A and B are shown apart, each in its own frame.
Chain A
Amino acid sequence: MKKTVSRRNFLKGGLAGTAAVAVLKNKESQAAHDFEGYPEGMGVLVDLTRCVGCRSCEAACNKEQGLPEPAKPFTDYSVFDEIHHGQKRRTDETAYTVVNQYDVPELDHPLFRKIQCNHCQEPACLTSCFVNAYTKTPEGAVIYNSKVCVGCRTCMIACPFYIPTFKYSSAFNPRIMKCIFCYDTRLKDGKPPACVEACPQEALTFGKRTDLIDMGRQRIRNTPGKYVDHIYGEKEVGGTAWMYLSSVSFDKVGFDTHVPKEPILNSVKDFLAMVPMVLTIWPGLFVGFHLLATRKENIKKQEQENDEKEEQA
């Protein structure tokens, strides 16, 4: 039997195909709203049970990033007792990462927590920046371009982890200082950041973010009772490239456990989407309304004036 395609069937098929493409395309564009990060993005898993507070990561970061000499040597552990404005040490223009010590009542030894930029999957700093100084690279780093930065410091307010800091010593040449995952010197060549390489305890494990989550789960599962059943950063603020494991609940070691589980962008995007509308459409729209509403009055006024003129004449 010879198979023939009638003109009608051919057209029908074509039509169905077009419809399918339209539906699929629609699905794709919907997926873009649920960005889950670059699939090949790298990350670091920080295991608080392994950190001994040796500060090797701080020293390595300082040298790798060419940061100024510290006030105290990196072998000085009195920094753990420092309190600045009622808080433990934070990242600043001289340090992209710091380690803090936490004394937890239920443990007979302190815990140490390294802080640095967590390199969010959907960074709030990036969202808030109106000159696009921030970029989330496919390798997982959130990098910053000082050439376009105007020094507004909105990113510092937007960051849920209070990480970006301002170089106040060069206010006329604005520069935000924060961890860039050693992007320029290491990450883009597939190498781990300097802090990871320096860590003697492998408290910092570098790898593909998805693999690190598997690894974290395996640690939790294989050593019952050692960890709380949570990977901080897996879901927090929509996911971060740097994630943490801890033996005690995260709020006891300085983590903000109240950050949303979705990107900060989600809480502001409705508002942000309205801004262009308000700024561009509203003025025209309301001027139009005003003109329409006052048109009759104007016509009446004009007529009255004309009448008066006629009377005078």
Chain B
Amino acid sequence: MQTRKKILRTALALAIGGVLTTPAQVWTMDADDAPESVTIDSLATLYVPVEFDHALHVEITSCEQCHHHTTGGEVTDKNCARCHTTSGEADVVSCGECHESDRFHEKYLKTLEAPELYHIDKPGLKGAYHLNCVGCHQETGGPTGCQDCHTMTEAGEKLFDTHIKHSPAKGHSATGH
């Protein structure tokens, strides 16, 4: 009886110790494990899906530039660092896991009213994609026109009334003329 208790106690101590020391050895995802390319198609209606060249972007920038603190790398954003310096790697790193695709649905808006919630202003999935991509492309001179990344579908052409030929539609640059 006595020995059994002792064993249990030791096991418990070890388990607690293990939990406490884990944050010190933060897991970091390896960029090589990332997919070569990602097809972003979950929202595609007015535009065709985007074939995102992940490998190219891994060369250009660091993981946390897009994935925030979820890949276990060093947290650089001051606002994230308030809480997430020791969060480690997240179970899932795809955008849609955290960014709601139906951002303005009544049910989701209700969850934002929780008084303890800090992330009251997390962009929806569409917003997250565009804010992240366009924001960086504006700064680095990447493509910023709508159809530079995804060409319009028939549904899109209908919505934007592209059949009207008033003046030739110029290639739009998000940064203006």
Contacts and interface: CB of A to CB of B under 8 A. Distances in A.
Same complex for A and B? Answer yes
Contacts of B131: 50, 201-202
Nearest to B103: A202
B176 A110 contact: yes
A280 interface: no
11 contacts: A52-B175, A54-B146, A70-B161, A72-B166, A73-B169, A75-B162, A77-B170, A202-B126, A208-B113, A211-B120, A214-B120
A224 B167 CA distance: 42
B146 A208 contact: no
A277 B176 CA distance: 57
Most chain B CB within 10 A, of A73, A74, A206, A211, is at A73
B109 A74 contact: no
A197 B113 CA distance: 21
A59 interface: yes
Nearest to B43: A200
A214 B109 CA distance: 14
Given A59-B159, A196-B104, A211-B113, A52 B120 contact: no
B121 interface: yes
Contact of B130 (A72, A110, A202, A215): A202
Which 5 pairs of residues, A with B, have the shortest CB-CB distance? Answer: A202-B127, A52-B174, A192-B104, A190-B106, A110-B176
Contacts of B123: 202
Nearest to B169: A75
A197 B146 contact: no
Contacts of B112: 207, 211
Contacts of A196: 104
Contacts of B52: none
B127 A73 contact: no
A109 interface: yes
Interface in B62-120: 79, 103-104, 106, 109, 112-113, 120
Given A54-B172, A77-B172, A207-B109, A69 B120 contact: no
Interface string A51-75: 0111110011011000001111111
Nearest to A78: B167
B120 A215 contact: yes
A218 interface: yes
B145 to A, nearest CB: 9
**Residue among B103, B106, B109, B161 with the highest chain A CB neighbour number at 10 A:** B161
Given A76-B167, A77-B169, 18 more contacts: A52-B174, A54-B174, A62-B161, A72-B167, A73-B163, A74-B161, A75-B162, A76-B169, A77-B170, A101-B176, A192-B104, A196-B104, A199-B127, A200-B127, A202-B131, A205-B121, A215-B121, A219-B121
A29 interface: no
A191 interface: yes
Interface in A203-229: 205-208, 211, 214-215, 218-219, 222
Interface of B: 79, 103-104, 106, 109, 112-113, 120-121, 123-124, 126-127, 129-131, 134, 138, 144, 146, 159-164, 166-167, 169-170, 172, 174-177
Interface of A: 50, 52-56, 59-60, 62-63, 69-78, 80, 101, 103, 109-110, 190-192, 196-197, 199-202, 205-208, 211, 214-215, 218-219, 222
Contact of B164 (A72, A78, A199, A201): A72
Contacts of B160: 55-56, 59, 73-75
A63 B159 CA distance: 7
A211 B172 CA distance: 34
Contact of A208 (B109, B127, B174, B176): B109
A78 to B, nearest CB: 6
A188 to B, nearest CB: 12
B117 to A, nearest CB: 11
A53 B145 CA distance: 11
Contacts of B120: 211, 214-215, 218
A126 B127 CA distance: 35
A71 B164 contact: yes
B161 A59 contact: yes
Nearest to B130: A200
Nearest to A63: B159
Contacts of B113: 208, 211
Contacts of B176: 53, 80, 101, 103, 109-110
A239 to B, nearest CB: 20
A27 B146 CA distance: 56
Nearest to B146: A54
Nearest to A193: B104
